[in-house]
Structures are given as C-alpha cells and as structure tokens.
Amino acid sequence: MKGSDLFVKCLENEGVEYIFGVPGEETVDLMDSLSRSGIKFIVTRHEQGAAFMADMYGRMTHRPGVCLATLGPGAANLITGVADAQLDKAPLVAVTGQAGLEKTHKESHQYIDMVAMFRQVTAWNSRITRPDFIPEIIHKAFDIAIDRPGSVHIELPEDIATEDSKKEPLFKRGRPHMTMYDEQDLKKAAEMIRESSMPLILAGNGVFRGEAASELRKFVTFSGLPVVTTFMGKGAIPADDEHYLGSMGIKDRDHVMCGMEMADLVITVGYDYVEYSPRSWNPDGSKRIIHIHSDHPETDESYIPDIILPGNIRQALSGLNEQCDFKKEMPERFSKVRSRMMAELEDFKNDASFPMKPQKVIYDIRECLSRNDILVSDVGAHKLWIGRLFPAYEANTVFISNGLASMGFALPAATLASFLKPERRVVAVAGDGGFLMNVQELETAVRLGCSLAMVIFNDSRYGLIEWHEKRKFDQSTGTDFTNPDFVRLADSFGAKGVRIENAEEFRPRLKEALNAGGVWIFDVRVDYSENFRLTEKLSSNVCEL
C-alpha cells in the first residue's frame, strides 16, 4: 500500500481519534489517506494552536495527542506546544511533512533540518527514510510518548508518503514496562512516617498521569498526613479536605512554604522537579524524603531520597497504606498554615472595588463552577494568583502550562477541553498579552461548537514582567501596550463579548454565559497593584506558627 495509507493505518492501530493541525503541500498525500480513515482531522488556525490542543489531549486522556504540520515554517510553529508537552510530561506525537529526500543534502526551498530542531524539545524523533520503516517508527514513537511520558516527533518526507510498502501495522502495544519497588523499602517507609513528628506529603502532576488521586485520598484519610500540592497537582486532594495545606509554586516565602519548612519528612508523590525546584523547598538538602513515582528521581543535591518507591503510584500508595497501621494527628502549626491559606481568598469575596482585585475574580470564577468543571490557566501574573488561591476539588480539573510556562496556552487548551468534555463547564483565564498570542483559535472554538468562557485579565501591559522589573530595578521597561476592543473582536469571530464595568456584575454575567453555552469573552479590568502588595506581604512572612 502507499506509504501515507500505511502511516494512517498505523495511527489507527495506536488508537488515534483526532489529529490537530494545518495541512500543507508536503502533506497532501497524508491528508488524502486521512480522508478515508476513521481519524478526524481538526483544522486549527495556527500550528501552535494545534500543538497546544494535542498537548491538552494528552493531559486530559493520558494518551498521546497528535498534531500535524507541513515542512519549514509550519513545523517550526509546532515547537512551542511540543516543548510545553515535553516539560509537563503530556504524551504528544508531532507529525511533520518534509521535502523529498533528494533535497535533504543541499540548500533547498523551505528545507530546514526539523529532526535536528525537534531533538531539543522531544524525548525521541525520527525521519522516515523508507516506507517499510513506518510501522516500527510509529509504534516506537507511541511507546516512548506514553512510557516516558512526553513529546516525540516523526518526519514524513513527501516522496516516502507516495512510495509503496508491503508492511502492515504492528500489533498494538502491551502494558508499559515499569520498575517496581522493593517490599522491604515499603516497610521502611512506613516506619519512617511513624517515627517522624511532622511528616508532610508533596503531591505533583504525576498523581494524575498515574491516575492515583483516589489512592492518595485514601492514604491521606487513613494516615492523617497533611498534603501540599504543586500548581499542577491541584485537585489531587480536595481543597476542602482538612488535610490540604495549599499549593506551592511561587518562589517567595508563601504560607505553604512555612509548612514545608516545618516538615521533618516529605513524602513526594508524583512530584516532577520541573513543577517546583527542590532547591526552593529543601535548599540545604537536609530534609528526609520518601520518593513515590513511576521512575527513579533525577540527581539533584537538594533531592536525595532516603527511600525510593518506583513503579505504579497507585500500587505504592495502596501498599504503603496497608503498612501504616497508625494515624497521625495534624500538628497545630500545620492547621494554622491551612487557616491562613483559606482566609486569604475569603478576604476578597465581597470586595467591590474596580478595577477588580485578582483575588475577587478568582473567587467569583470558583463560585460559578461545580467541583468537576474545568479551569484552564494561561501564563502571566494571574497564573500565580490561580496557583496560590484557586480551590480545586477533583483530579484533572485545573490545567496550567507550567514547565515551559508558555503564554498562548489557554484558548486552544480550553477549546480542546470543551470539545472532549462538552458536559462540563470550562473557564479559561488569560492576560491580555497571552490571549492575543493565539486569538485566531476563537474561530476553531466557534466552528467546533464549543462552550467556554475566556476571562481576560486586562491591564494593558505584560503585568508579570512589570512586577519582576519593578521588584529588581524599581521601574519597568517595554511592558506597556494597547488592546483592541475585545467585545467587538469576539463578535467578529462569532463569539459573544462582555465588558465588565463593575465588580458586582461579573459573577452573575459569568453564570449567565456558562448556562447559555457558546464561546464567551469577558474583558475584565484588573488591579494588579495587588501583585506588589503580595510581594510586601510575602517578604515579611515569618513562620511564627
């Protein structure tokens, strides 16, 4: 069969449902083959949007999302989203077209060595140089994307797509191989927890990849251990659980850092270094650590575990729970950390000032969503407020670009979330800078019949960069800009736009939009002077608990 037909059959064999992308001249054979398959091709308005949608698919389903672009500029436009998935460990397969092999050894129109370019942002990538290699390369790509997990890249030259092959797709992959912990280490871990006076769990993004949230909650209930999550681990334990102390991800001396400083034993569960460097919470490397993850930890002088429990996180937590025949009482000092965290958001629930305080916007969004609804955060100052304060109650309900921290993530990611989970309400939050980086995907969201509300924190500047510049130099440079009329912009895409004029109208208008369905844009003026008040607050935060 033709190479492109074999390629598509191999994708079907791997269970691919959707491909997100922008077609090009070098992918016409592949597109023709897709037209006769059960895979649905979702056209996006920019390759970066396609990559972010595939990234979000991997985060939500824990199966590889697939994105497609042509050679040269199309392939290069994928790189940001591919890198984002790689650092946040979301399984993703990027497919790019390429000129014929006869052009790869010399200067040629639109030809760039994309395999070399993608090498820095993927776990593995390969150019297909013979059609007979297609089944093995695709099978290996999906194996690596799932087992590592992260991004992989396959390049399909246009001449290989047209050549014939007698090969067939390989058998579907079995369960991934996974190292298992030693039972004696499990007993030692339980004894360490028993003997510690202030043990604490640090839960990260790996809890969701390992689908271990329910086991973590059981372990916490039976052991009585307090829990801190990373920003990406929000929802691993409900925010209204008495054991939840808050989320960490900001470098300043936040409330939750007081809890980390007091802990004499940290049990990390699904924690990835990229979420929050261990140097930030264990700078001198003195804390005792139990590492529970799908694999062994990377070497870091601030993170040398006493015990490593690699393998299936659910099984490790279940086994540890059986070994822990005791229940710890929550130390009063940990309880005070939790009280401080809960009080901060509540303090602004009735704030009527305008422009709105970021804490008030976050409080109102939470009030408009059920426990299972979805919040997607872009990158900017609002991300830090969401990470610190937004209460998450269920797994996979808060999605943040964290490792790469890429602006422009929220709109395509929210579009995919609504597309996959139409029964859930979806709210995306972005700054005015980040929103305009992928604004073209409004057309994609409307065309797909999505229902989502995009809340724009509007301050007419790159607020997070201004914050950092003023903290360091007492002035800012190059952060101001002007914005379009977001209401009219929304209307031009077939969405609905709302400009918030006072704090009291935001929550009822947002509820109305979420009930009505469709794509909504909320232009909300935000008072980011709160950023500087937070800096002052955290700089004087002494752990007197």
- pLDDT mean by block of 10 residues, the chain; 545 residues: 97 97 96 98 98 98 98 97 97 94 70 91 96 97 94 96 95 61 90 96 96 96 95 96 90 72 95 92 93 90 94 94 90 84 85 95 97 97 93 97 95 98 98 97 98 96 83 88 96 98 98 98 93 71 54
Question: Residue 466: what pLDDT?
Answer: 85
Residue indicated by tokens 């209401």: 487
Q: Does CATH number 3.40.50.970 belong to domain 3-162?
A: yes
Question: Residue 173: what pLDDT?
Answer: 53
Question: Residue 358: what pLDDT?
Answer: 94
Q: How far is CA 497 from CA 258, 460, 489, 524, 526, in A?
A: 42, 18, 8, 11, 17
The domain limits of the chain are 3-162, 183-331, 347-538
Same fold, 3-162 and 347-538: yes
Q: Which helix (H) or strand (E) is 465 found in, with range?
A: helix 463-473
What angle (nearest 5°) sits at the alpha carbon of residue 343, between those of residues 342 and 349? 105
Question: Residue 135: what pLDDT?
Answer: 97
Kindly tell me the burial class for residue 120, based on how many C-beta atoms sit within 10 Å of its own C-beta (0-12, 13-18, 19 or more): exposed
Cα gap 53→145, rounded to integer Å: 16
- Indicate the angle between helix axes 3-13 and 134-147, nearest 10 degrees: 30
* Segments in 122-212 forming alpha helices (H): 134-147, 158-162, 183-195, 206-209
Q: Residue 448 carries which DSSP code?
A: T
Question: Residue 172: what pLDDT?
Answer: 66
The model's pTM: 0.94
What does the DSSP assignment read for 356-374? Answer: BPHHHHHHHHHHHS-TT-E
The CATH classification of domain 347-538, taken from the options 3.40.640.10, 2.120.10.30, 3.40.630.10, 3.40.50.970:
3.40.50.970
The CATH classification of domain 183-331, taken from the options 1.10.3720.10, 2.60.40.1120, 3.20.20.150, 3.40.50.1220:
3.40.50.1220
Contacts 24+ apart (CB under 8 A), 112-118: 112/71, 112/72, 112/75, 112/76, 114/71, 114/72, 114/75, 114/76, 114/153, 114/155, 115/153, 115/155, 117/75, 117/76, 117/79, 118/75, 118/79, 118/82, 118/94, 118/153
- Which residue type sits at 174? G
Q: Residue 270 carries which DSSP code?
A: S
